[in-house]
Chains A and B, each alone.
Chain A
Amino acid sequence: MTPPKQPTEADLVILNEAQGAELAVRDLYDAALLVGGFSDVQTSVLISFRNHHTAYAQALNGVLGKSAVNMRSETVYSAYRDQVRASTTALKTLQSLENVLVATHTAIVGLLVGLDAANLMASILIVEARLAAVYGTAPELDLASALDDSAVSLVVASSVEG
């Protein structure tokens, strides 16, 4: 049977979770940038990465349509807010966030029935993996972390089944 292109009702639930996570990460980049302490080139790259997450949330809006909640995940935001505000842990935390998004979206791709949304999520997470790896190549962090994709997904089976 050919998979449907449009997201199913169950797909919409998990896509809203993905959008909430993207909006939370965008706000966490803002929180880190507000504190500052980065070089000009670092700031430029961080703003660019932040804008990527805005683009992802907007793209998910397009797939979700009227079902879009368009609210950041407070769970994600509050869990990482203090760490991104500390200059010593900001970059490492932002890398962890990218890795969490990669793990989450990978799990979501494995659950989505609608092909359009699956394609979109794939095109998002493959770049988020790149963003995570970029942090690993920075002198402040170690190269091995660029390949560390062992983060745990935010999506749990119960939320999908519900």
Chain B
Amino acid sequence: MSSQLSRRDLFRLGGIGIISTTLLAACSKNNGTSDNAIASIGTIPPNTSLPTAEVTDVVLLRTAASLEYAAIDLYSTLLDAGYLSGDFAAVAAIARRFRDDHAAHAASSNSLVLKLGGQAFECANSRFTSLAITPAIALISTPENPDVALDAVTLAHAIETVCAQMQQGFVGLYSDPVLRGAAINVGQNNARHAVILAQMLNPGLSGVEPSTEPATGVSKVFAVPSAFGGLAIVRVPLGPPNAEGVKTSITMETPSLNALTYEFVSC
């Protein structure tokens, strides 16, 4: 018997194969899926849709409050740990005053939240804290750090700068002019805090405008960075310096879409 298949046999077998597959598919159990469903093995978990994340005036106000709480917590940490000491012992009293100011700012933002029918937010912005404050405190508290007090004041200056920038930046986002006025009123107060701390770090009129360290060329902290308020990222050198004398730089920026305190966020 010849085992060779003719061309006609091949076509016939192919046709039988296609018909069988179609019949099997038609007779198979549907498993309750729609006709358009892609066949799969196992159970597909249902899709969990994300909550609606709309940037409203309430969200911006809650975010503003959350950053003010971050500042409150930072001052409490610096004071409780006794970091404001030595050459910067005088800053401790200033820090207490600034902490009170931030509490008033947060209360002001939250009162506006309540007026708009939102829910007050009374704790620190978790994303800002985890990305900026926690690593900053870790650097400051490193046992090898020779500049604990200096770094503590530098960090306080940075958060004041960011708080001022945030309020300035939110002016362009609020829908209601009254909220813009309220925001910038808080922002200007934070900017004053930044000046006082800048003068603690780089005292005198020579510390008012941008300048650099003559030895290293590194930019100093100064009271008036530019003629117009900027919204640039703030870099904070902290912790023990490396062999070249350079400290680790922590980056701080005003809360963006992924750090806003949306209405579904709770403390």
Contacts and interface: CB of A to CB of B under 8 A. Distances in A.
Chains A and B bind each other: yes
B253 to A, nearest CB: 17
B226 A129 contact: no
Interface string B117-148: 00000000000000000000000000000000
Nearest to B173: A115
A119 interface: yes
A126 B194 CA distance: 11
Contact of B191 (A113, A119, A133, A138): A133
Contacts of B212: none
Kindly list the 6 A-B residue pairs having the minimum CB-CB distance in the complex, ordered from nearest: A110-B181, A129-B188, A133-B195, A126-B229, A123-B229, A133-B192
Interface in B14-56: none
Interface stretch (A25-33, A61-69, A81-89, A141-149): A141-149
Contact of A122 (B168, B175, B209, B224): B168
A102 B204 CA distance: 23
Given A1-B175, A3-B175, A127-B229, A149 B188 contact: yes
Interface residues of B, number: 38
B232 interface: no
Nearest to B188: A129
Interface in A105-141: 106-107, 109-113, 115, 118-119, 121-134, 136-138
Interface core residue of A45, A123, A125 (most chain B CB under 10 Å):
A123
Contact of A134 (B101, B187, B193, B224): B224
A133 B228 contact: no
B192 A111 contact: no
Contacts of A48: 208-209, 224
A130 B223 contact: yes
Nearest to A3: B175
